[in-house]
Amino acid sequence: MKLRLLLDHFENRKSELATSLMMLGLALHIGIWPDAIGASAFRGILNVLPASWLGWGFLIAGSARLAALVANGSWPYYGPVLRAIGALSGAMIWFQMCIALYQLVPTLGSPPSPGIPVYFVLTVLELLCMYQALVMVSHAKDS
């Protein structure tokens, strides 16, 4: 598929594509280096989920979102529903990563990580994508 056709297909969903690819990249990273999360600033997430679950979660969420984005035009109702669910799961993932970085502040005694606003913006972006998908669901119901 030519790059232009690919860009046209994703139109105003490029941010959803990017976050889906981020999740797949994180799944691959955890698959290759399972101890990477424990050795990173995100080690607090391991208090809630084991690394293998985290890797599989990223893989499933990223793959499902990518599939929903690819099939979006073919499923006028279910495509946006799946996109909304994927965006909500993405928001939860990025917000947990934001919290994990924030929890390090008292233990390190250093300034907060510059990653906190990055993951917070990703969280807000996902919520906006969810809203956009839900608007499409309501339009599909009305048609």
Average of per-residue pLDDT values in the chain? 86
What Å distances lie between residue 92 and 6, 42, 99, CA to CA?
A: 28, 15, 10
CA distance 84 to 78: 10
What Å distances lie between residue 54 and 12, 38, 74, 81, 120, CA to CA?
A: 28, 12, 30, 24, 19
Which phi-psi region, left, alpha or beta, contains residue 106 (left: φ > 0; alpha: ψ -120 to 50)? alpha
Answer yes or no: are the C-beta atoms of 116 and 98 closer than 8 Å: yes
Mean pLDDT of 21-29: 94
Answer yes or no: is pLDDT of 1 > 70: no
What pTM was computed for the model? 0.84
pLDDT, residue 78, reads 85
pLDDT tens digit sequence for 53-110:
888 989 999 998 888 888 776 787 888 888 899 899 999 989 988 998 888 887 767 7
pLDDT, residue 62, reads 93
Structure tokens at 7: 């860009």
pLDDT, residue 6, reads 67
pLDDT, residue 116, reads 93
- Burial of residue 109 (number of CB atoms within 10 Å: 0-12, 13-18, 19+): exposed
> Percentage of residues in the chain with pLDDT exceeding 70?
95
Q: Which of 11, 12, 15 is nearest to 86 (CA)?
A: 15
